[in-house]
Structure 1
Amino acid sequence: MISQTTRKLLPALAALSLAACASTHGIAPEGTMRSADRLHSERALGNTKLSNVAWPGASWWNGLGDPQLDRLIKDGLADAPSVAAANARVRKAFAQAGLAEAGIYPTLGASAQESHIQLPETLAPAPIGGKLMHSTILSLNFSWAPDIWGGKHAKYDAAIGQARAQEVDVQAARASLIQNITQTYVGLDQAYEMRDVAAQDAKRNAGLRVLAAQRVKAGIDNQIVLSQIISAEEAAHQQQKAAEQQIVALKTTLAMLAGQGPDYGLSIERPNLNTPAIAIPSTLPSELVSRRPDVVAARWRVEAASRGIDASKADFYPSLNLSAMLGVAAGNLKDLFGSDALLVYGGPAISLPILDGGRLRNQLRGSDADFDLAVAGYDQAVLTAMRDIVDAVQTARALDSEIASAKASRAAADKSARLTQQRRQAGLATQLDVLNAQKPLLQLDQQIKQLQSKRIDAWVRLNVALGGGVPVNEAAVSTAFDKKNDSKGNPQ
């Protein structure tokens, strides 16, 4: 029940609030959220297969067809410090939201105090002066500042928005870890292929060296030709050793990404990867904002910033504080619970800032700037998402063309090598001609594998750009945001 005194104060409270409203005049955010559908990509993504199921699934990397990669990712998600750190940040953010929520509710506390005092006779004459006096106080203390203008609820909502953003950041950390493991695994596959090509080239040069030595001995060739072949053979051996070293390093990296020790990497076998086809969703970009964890997190931060503006505006209005104390006090314990020992204190208090040196207006300007920053961050996240998608698709298309050309060149080189072998069998060419005809084949094999690795990497980047299959839901933040914003996208 509101006391008679409080009722008398309410008209004054209303009058003061009207005076306070004018102090926010001229302060408003400048940022405006824009739809992702404004980012047209029809021409840039033309001739790319559209699919209703092209959004990555929760285990999109299974499209590479390697069970070992699935095991590495599962181990990484279970033990990676980056994911654990992101989870800890979420817990801290929700704890901070809980602190903000606690300010909404009344507080009730109990206290017990015993004190002793002796005043000097020079200050107070006897019988008070010079006598040690005792007092005991038992009390219940009640305090409540009603959230009349919604400022405390706005602070709580802002804290919840930040916590939700941190929660989505966990999914972003998981997606980043999956991307790093997958790309490193693709690099390991390429390193194995480079080692094979180098070993084949070393074997070919070894055959050339034997033939060249025989030709030098027979006086057909000179030492210059032999030295060049020996140099090429050593270079192939060096490439083979470099590839083997890279294999070891990449296995160690995969072990670290999986949250394991270096010995874990020794159990990693040679990858066996497919090259999946490229396709994009038919609902791009309208659904992108609900698929990318960084975009969803940015949207939550916009919502949090908008509620921060509400909280800053509420500080301009008068505040009402209700407090009460009920207890007993006496000079000795036997009188403590008598009717004469009752101690009561309480009543409402109203406060309103009048001269604060511009603190509240600058605080509101800061909240508006935070909102503008959050909107800019959201817009940038959407732009980055579209750039990542277009870049991955265009890269994949270019690589598909390069791979087709390289395979056509290899087919021609293979035909030439087979014809040379046939000529040798017919006595029209030498073994030296056969070995020389194999060199373009090895070079093209190396080129094709490098292109295929880049092509798989483009597919990986596309899946990550499309959200990485993480289970985020933008609907909740959209509903919360739209309730508190006008049609222009600014906080009300």
Structure 2
Amino acid sequence: MALVAAASVVAVGLMATGLTGCADMSGIAPQSSLRDAPSLGLPADAGLTPAQAPLAADWWREFGDAQLNSLVDQALQTSPSLKLAQARLARALAVTEVADAATLPQVTGQLDLTRQQYTANGAVPAPLAGSIRNSGTAQLAVSWELDFFGKNRAALDAALGTASAAAADAQAARLLLASNVARSYFQLVRLNEQVNVARRTLAQRDETLKLVRDRVDAGLDTRLELRQSEGGLPEARLQLETLQEQMALTRNALDALIGKPNGTAAPTLPAQAAIKNVATATAIPADLLGRRADIAAARWRVEASTKDVVNAKTQFYPNVNLVAFAGFSSIGLGRLLDSGSQQWGVGPALRLPIFDAGRLRANLRGKTADLDAAVESYNAAVIDAVRDVADQVASSQAITRQQTEQHAAQEAAEGAYDIAVQRYKAGLGTYLNVLTAETSVLAQRRLAVDLSARALDTQVALIRALGGGYSAAPAQAKQVQGATKTIAAGAGPDWAAASFDSKNQPATH
């Protein structure tokens, strides 16, 4: 019997192969193609140099600020947005398990117990006709879809791609959260430095007011100078109040990022100069762009869409199933397990689409359009990544040059202010000269703080643009059994080193 079943399956397989001529997929093909490194003006063989080493996953620790480390750690543990991304990953992994199960035999158990009155006027013969009897069936059924044309495998590969994309999205959410915490923290440090500048300004203007009053009392100045000096104090207080409001709003934003709105004490902020600068790339390394989580996710979606197209094509081919069952069935429960109540069956089943009013072609066109959309989304992500890194590199270099010039300008302004005050004390200059010099000094002090803050912010932005230490080997892949080992074995498609076929489409592996 086993030989007969095997021969039947072989015959069905051969017949199915002969019937594939019914499939008509002509005229449906993807139109988009993946952009590679040369098409973006980047070297195809760009390699890592010591200055462009892969970033650490906990890159924020390199700034040397323990308080920043604590804030980022809290955010990564409690953020709802990160937990949402992780939930989506868990959902995608569950889908891979469902797709994996479709490739394996299915076994079901059946137990039916029925008390039934049989019709006396039907086809049921005596003595069952008109009687009330108990009947029962107990059996096991085995079914296995023989995946001759790779439909189930393609569905599994598509689910794997989607799960890998979800894993990359979770890493992208992690990076975005950490970078937003760091940037908000550095913004808080900047505002704190500006508050210190404003307080120094207020104290300086208070001292100047005392000096002007003494000179007015001595008859050396008029009330004009006194009113000018008095007007500087409210202006300084206004600036201080404005900065403190901005600090409160920034602190609220930081509390929301770490998942504790209005629940944290005001942090003791370090001096801006105490925060370490992090060495970052001075050029655009093509292979590091491939380690961006958003690009990896887009590339995985291309892979998943490619497999969806393959799956849509297999719908045109015959569907071959092998079904078997064995068990017991009887009228009267007392004889259910007797040897004479045994029943069994085995045989193949073939389903072939002949006329479906264009449903399969429409489905294939839809999946092909999805692939084109995934490819163009990937291309857009790559182009945006190149622009993002180029912007941050340009800003970083420009800020370094600006800080050099600003430092020289501040030294000159401070010197001019000291001279103006000395001349005013000696009666050789007017108070207007002091005000003019003071205005330049205050502007340079604020600019120095802003440039230092921009330097830190740009470093964070460049780290984020270069992937923030993303590694395409999600630990969650261990949750998926069987064929889903592909996630762990293949570290994820690298856009700068992706494989392409002759039509520049993703090659199937």
Do the structures match in fold with TM over 0.5? Answer: yes
SS where residue 492 of structure 2 aligns? helix
CA contact (8 A) 2:155 2:307 kept: yes
Equivalent residue number for residue 162 of structure 1? 162
SS where residue 476 of structure 1 aligns? coil
Count of residue pairs the alignment pairs up:
482
Residues 291 and 128 of structure 1, relative CA distance in 2, 3 Å threshold = closer
Which amino acid in the other structure matches residue 505 of structure 2?
A: G
CA contact (8 A) 2:111 2:138 kept: yes
Residues 58 and 478 of structure 1, relative CA distance in 2, 3 Å threshold = closer
Please give the per-residue CA displacement for 1:204-223, whole angstroms capped at 9, x wherever unaligned: 33344445556667787666
Alignment of 1:262-301 (within 5 A): 262-272=262-272, 273-274=274-275, 276=277, 279-280=280-281, 284-301=284-301
Please give the per-residue CA displacement for 1:314-361, whole angstroms capped at 9, x wherever unaligned: 111011122122111112233222232122234211111111111111
CA contact (8 A) 1:144 1:322 kept: yes
Equivalent residue number for residue 17 of structure 2? 14
Alignment of 1:217-236 (within 5 A): 226-236=226-236
SS where residue 136 of structure 2 aligns? strand
Q: How far apart are the structure 1 equivalents of 2:140 and 2:54?
A: 59
Please give the per-residue CA displacement for 1:261-311, whole angstroms capped at 9, x wherever unaligned: 5342424434544463764267x4431343211111111111111111111
Equivalent residue number for residue 249 of structure 1? 249
Please give the per-residue CA displacement for 1:159-188, whole angstroms capped at 9, x wherever unaligned: 011101111112111110111011111111
Q: How far apart are the structure 2 equivalents of 1:435 and 1:386?
A: 47
Q: Give the Å deviation of 1:80.
A: 2.1
CA contact (8 A) 1:329 1:336 kept: yes
SS where residue 385 of structure 1 aligns? helix
CA contact (8 A) 1:212 1:226 kept: yes
Which amino acid in the other structure matches residue 96 of structure 2?
A: A
Please give the per-residue CA displacement for 1:75-119, whole angstroms capped at 9, x wherever unaligned: 222222222222221111110110111111111111111112213
Alignment of 1:315-354 (within 5 A): 315-354=315-354
CA contact (8 A) 1:325 1:345 kept: yes
Equivalent residue number for residue 151 of structure 2? 151
Q: How far apart are the structure 1 equivalents of 2:506 and 2:245?
A: 56
Equivalent residue number for residue 104 of structure 1? 103
SS where residue 447 of structure 1 aligns? helix
Residues 212 and 278 of structure 1, relative CA distance in 2, 3 Å threshold = same
CA contact (8 A) 2:107 2:142 kept: yes
Task: Report which stretch shifted further, 126-135 or 401-410.
Answer: 126-135
Residues 25 and 285 of structure 1, relative CA distance in 2, 3 Å threshold = farther
Q: How far apart are the structure 2 equivalents of 1:459 and 1:326?
A: 69
Which amino acid in the other structure matches residue 137 of structure 2?
A: I
Equivalent residue number for residue 491 of structure 2? 476
Alignment of 1:54-453 (within 5 A): 54-121=53-120, 123=122, 127-212=127-212, 226-272=226-272, 273-274=274-275, 276=277, 279-280=280-281, 284-423=284-423, 428-429=428-429, 437-453=437-453
Q: How far apart are the structure 2 equivalents of 1:109 and 1:453?
A: 65
CA contact (8 A) 2:329 2:336 kept: yes
Residues 412 and 40 of structure 1, relative CA distance in 2, 3 Å threshold = same
Q: How far apart are the structure 2 equivalents of 1:315 and 1:229?
A: 85
SS where residue 347 of structure 1 aligns? strand
Please give the per-residue CA displacement for 1:194-247, whole angstroms capped at 9, x wherever unaligned: 111222222233344445556667787666655554343212112112222322
Residues 27 and 431 of structure 1, relative CA distance in 2, 3 Å threshold = closer
Q: How far apart are the structure 1 equivalents of 2:31 and 2:345?
A: 48
Q: Give the Å deviation of 1:405.
A: 2.4
CA contact (8 A) 2:171 2:293 kept: yes
Q: Give the Å deviation of 1:483.
A: 7.4
SS where residue 179 of structure 2 aligns? helix
Residues 430 and 31 of structure 1, relative CA distance in 2, 3 Å threshold = closer
Residues 235 and 422 of structure 1, relative CA distance in 2, 3 Å threshold = closer
Which amino acid in the other structure matches residue 309 of structure 1?
A: V
CA contact (8 A) 2:290 2:494 kept: no
SS where residue 135 of structure 1 aligns? strand
Residues 242 and 266 of structure 1, relative CA distance in 2, 3 Å threshold = same
Which amino acid in the other structure matches residue 9 of structure 1?
A: V
Which amino acid in the other structure matches residue 103 of structure 1?
A: A
Residues 281 and 217 of structure 1, relative CA distance in 2, 3 Å threshold = closer
Equivalent residue number for residue 27 of structure 2? 26
Q: How far apart are the structure 2 equivalents of 1:76 and 1:424?
A: 54
Q: How far apart are the structure 2 equivalents of 1:477 and 1:197?
A: 49
Q: How far apart are the structure 1 equivalents of 2:499 and 2:147?
A: 20
Which amino acid in the other structure matches residue 39 of structure 2?
A: R
Q: How far apart are the structure 1 equivalents of 2:170 and 2:197?
A: 41
SS where residue 137 of structure 2 aligns? strand
SS where residue 477 of structure 1 aligns? coil
Q: How far apart are the structure 2 equivalents of 1:168 and 1:408?
A: 46
Which amino acid in the other structure matches residue 477 of structure 1?
A: G
CA contact (8 A) 1:55 1:280 kept: no
SS where residue 322 of structure 1 aligns? strand
Which amino acid in the other structure matches residue 12 of structure 1?
A: M
Q: How far apart are the structure 1 equivalents of 2:110 and 2:412?
A: 94
Q: Give the Å deviation of 1:422.
A: 4.5
Task: Report which stretch shifted further, 235-244 or 468-477.
Answer: 468-477
Please give the per-residue CA displacement for 1:400-423, whole angstroms capped at 9, x wherever unaligned: 233222222211112222333544
SS where residue 57 of structure 2 aligns? coil
Which amino acid in the other structure matches residue 488 of structure 1?
A: N
Task: Report which stretch shifted further, 235-244 or 178-187.
Answer: 235-244
Residues 116 and 486 of structure 1, relative CA distance in 2, 3 Å threshold = farther
Which amino acid in the other structure matches residue 191 of structure 2?
A: A
SS where residue 75 of structure 2 aligns? helix
Residues 383 and 213 of structure 1, relative CA distance in 2, 3 Å threshold = same
Unaligned runs of 5+ in 1: 43-49
Which amino acid in the other structure matches residue 371 of structure 2?
A: F
Residues 112 and 456 of structure 1, relative CA distance in 2, 3 Å threshold = same
Q: How far apart are the structure 2 equivalents of 1:333 and 1:122?
A: 25
Task: Report which stretch shifted further, 32-41 or 133-142.
Answer: 32-41
* TM-score normalised by the chain length of structure 1: 0.88
